[in-house]
């Protein structure tokens, strides 16, 4: 496990963008699974100007690792909408390089990725409860591949699904899909990044505490090629 601690959010975001960018420069297909959420906002800003109009990066293929569908709205769910707005659209990434995971194809996600040559890198955020992708405590287990998580999976799942769609009851789905721990562990490289004091306690617990399903991200400690990129605040509980 490698840990990189940067002075602030901007520098942390630059480092994460550089790691991704460095992966892209290959003479072969490169498969990246990338995260939505608020943490990557700055990183995508950097990455958009790094990759836009660079046709020689057409070897890079992008995957989302979870999706929360809108109940009524057709088309992309929460994750792909977010990734499209933050990155795919401003960077003009052609559709042929984007491979959406959704409720219709989640059962074949692991097979598809395997057939595409596997993930070269997966970029993850982390929730204050220790989740990554949609692997929340009490939902998936370490042995699970890409999974369907229903609204009754945990006591507060209905509330979580509601907040994911911005509090709009009409759009609250009754499930989401996510790559499971076993799917994520198959990536050749993992980068997990976090910013702010609100992530400090979980960073310590997930990466310096016991490996347990109660803290889903704790499994990632065992990955042979994982880099954790933090700003000072997120690293503030580490010694
Ligand atoms: C959501 C996403 C996760 C992400 C997490 C943290 O649950 N599905 O992939 O890691 O949020 O988000 P943020 O970066 O906004 O703290």
Q: Ligand 1: does its nearest atom lie under 6 Å from the Cβ of 160? A: no
- What pLDDT, on a 0 to 100 scale, did the predictor assign at position 239? 82
In this structure, the dihedral spanned by the alpha carbons of residues 64, 69, 75 and 76, taken in order and rounded to 10 degrees, is -30
Taking a C-beta distance cutoff of 8 angstroms, is the pair 89, 62 a contact? no
Query: Residues near 81 by Cβ (< 8 Å), separated by ≥ 6?
Result: 75
Residue nearest atom 8 of ligand 1, based on CA coordinates = 133
CA–CA separation, 6 and 48 (whole Å): 21
Q: How far apart are the first and last CA of the chain?
A: 15
Taking the CA of residue 126 as reference, the ligand 1 atom at the shortest distance is 10
Model confidence at 55, in pLDDT bands (50, 70, 90)? very high
Tens of pLDDT along 69-80? 999 999 999 999
Taking a C-beta distance cutoff of 8 angstroms, is the pair 206, 126 a contact? yes
Taking the CA of residue 134 as reference, the ligand 1 atom at the shortest distance is 8
Q: Which domains does the chain have, with CATH numbers?
A: 2-231 (3.40.50.1360)
Taking the CA of residue 178 as reference, the ligand 1 atom at the shortest distance is 8
pTM: 0.97
Q: Ligand 1: does its nearest atom lie under 6 Å from the Cβ of 130? A: no
How buried is residue 17: exposed, middle or buried, by Cβ count under 10 Å (0-12/13-18/19+)? buried
- What pLDDT, on a 0 to 100 scale, did the predictor assign at position 25? 96
Please tell me the distance between residue 199's alpha carbon and the centre of ligand 1 in angstroms: 11
Q: What is the pLDDT averaged over residues 89-93?
A: 98
Model confidence at 83, in pLDDT bands (50, 70, 90)? very high
Sheet with 2-6, edge to edge strand ranges: 2-6, 226-231, 190-194, 121-124, 30-34, 60-64, 98-99
């Amino acid at each position: 496990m490698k840990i990189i601690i940067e002075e602030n959010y901007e520098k942390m975001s630059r480092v994460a963008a550089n790691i991704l960018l460095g992966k892209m420069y290959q003479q072969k297909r490169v498969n990246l699974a990338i995260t939505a959420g608020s943490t990557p906002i700055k990183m995508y800003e950097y990455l958009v100007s790094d990759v836009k109009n660079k046709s020689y990066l057409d070897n890079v293929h992008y995957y989302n690792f979870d999706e929360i569908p809108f109940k009524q709205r057709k088309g992309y769910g929460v994750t792909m909408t977010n990734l499209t707005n933050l990155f795919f659209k401003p960077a003009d990434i052609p559709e042929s390089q984007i491979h959406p995971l959704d409720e219709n194809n989640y059962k074949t996600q692991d097979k598809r990725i395997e057939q595409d040559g596997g993930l070269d890198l997966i970029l993850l955020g982390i929730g204050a409860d220790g989740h990554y992708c949609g692997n929340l405590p009490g939902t998936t287990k370490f042995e699970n591949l890409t999974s369907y998580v229903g609204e009754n999976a945990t006591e507060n799942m209905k509330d979580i699904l509601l907040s994911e769609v911005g509090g709009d009851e009409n759009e609250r789905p009754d499930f989401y899909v996510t790559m499971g721990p076993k799917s994520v562990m198959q990536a050749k490289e993992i980068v997990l990044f976090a910013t702010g004091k609100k992530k400090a306690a979980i960073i310590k617990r997930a990466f310096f505490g016991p490996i347990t399903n109660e803290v889903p991200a704790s499994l990632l400690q065992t990955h042979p090629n994982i880099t954790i990129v933090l700003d000072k605040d997120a690293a503030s509980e580490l010694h």
